[in-house]
Structure 1
């Protein structure tokens, strides 16, 4: 089912147009306040747009121009799965999953059969007779997925479905989602790059209520053009103009690196933090930038040293030897071979 969406909400500075193709999963990324929840609420019918129009296959979800048409949430063919399972505590697992088809007029017998089918799909059929209070977090989220799918939605909206789960449980749930979402039209809001890589065909990045970048998942997350996507992908992003030997940054500094782009073309350069070295004295490397340390953050067996424009992952001994702390002025250096230059 094709989902065509165009909406504006003035009070939230929201102005977004996008399309989700039949059977496509689109991951929506962005910092807090970017408009991700507004997008889902508009699609689900929990919020009205000031202007715009949304159509799901042949159903007009809303048309703020053409007479103010608004289809109620329960008539949209849209299921929203929130961060929390929100299961009905007084119903069994089976009755929770059967609730959707039952409320749409399906017989009790048929709705229970549908519920059993989806419980089997999410590998939770053995939980059918339990109450929600008897479930673990991972089990409850499986049931919530089954309940969302049992109503056979034309569009499935997922709002950070794995955010509240223990890291030990998330991988199994992610594999399950990848299997049951195949062939469905899905919008998934997430802050987890692994969710995007594992589940999404395409990525849309929102910031301040606007789309700042979109495209196939690997294209966006391996060659980001927005600082948020670069941060999510753990990449340093430098923006400027292509030169004969690399890229000239907005502040006039030049970075060497290979690229097929023509000189004068707007360009971006990505560098992974582990490829960046830190020193107090000016290094001999051609690629070197000076900056003030903003923070020093332990990350496993490495420490991330971050300035305004660059971050480096270095050994704790380096931090100790250089006596690095916020406010220190240091040099960041990296090899031209570590730089990936592409169209900005």
Structure 2
């Protein structure tokens, strides 16, 4: 069995790391060998957004880097498809494995299917219902032509069933992000700012923002930051700044003595900050999953989420994009009144093993 594994952007790397380790473990146990080829599309090319993750998570060097980063959505999609087509024609697998919902996920799935190569989608079936998000379009297109679907929750299973996907093609396996989290909890690294800023466990807030609804309007971003700083008492707010957010932040020149601005971090440093935070404020989907498993209060500054299990079962709350709505939730955290939450089914650290076993069964490894 030959499988090409595609990674294009930072969230992908966290999802493929345990899958590669599970393949290596499978091969070492006397099974028929699964030959894998790792292809990095180069969608993210900043070192902190890409290369560091390979190093920290023990991911082997990719067999190919398509270097298709930069440009508009359409330009990037076209570059990925053109270069991935050549890759598949030169190294044709029996199946490709794509993860998540970035542009690479959609582009590589389309390319493979047009060449008659099967595609399996890890983290299939999640939906936000918000068609203004590029990721939502990527999810819908990918799942419309995928052959097998590896899912993280019953919510995802139901989305796929409603779209007409038969149960024998839906494989509820859990969440590979949580595999990576559990595999690395003993390896977390204290970021340099921990000591330089005098941070203390459960005595600071962690903030991440990059969605257009939160950061593209300078006045709105300033209002959101002012609301956060005015409602978090004397606690520091650590803000690793996404490149797209940094441009706008620099433009408005917003500063506060308690607001600690930082560059993007490696995985081990960032998870260290989540684990030790009083609470997380974010507009990222993946962070809500990690906060849920770590039992950290999480506030999502979005009007919709593709991960409702983090709300119904976990420690996350969906706030919306109106900064005023954040105030009572921040007060709840400071008062110690946040809900306890739990861990969704199959988020147990064994998802990648289930995926590899199922792949082997499906494609006769």
TM-score, normalised with respect to structure 1: 0.31
Greater strand fraction, Structure 1 or Structure 2: 1
Greater Cα radius of gyration, structure 1 or 2: 1
TM-score, normalised with respect to structure 2: 0.29
Greater helix fraction, Structure 1 or Structure 2: 2
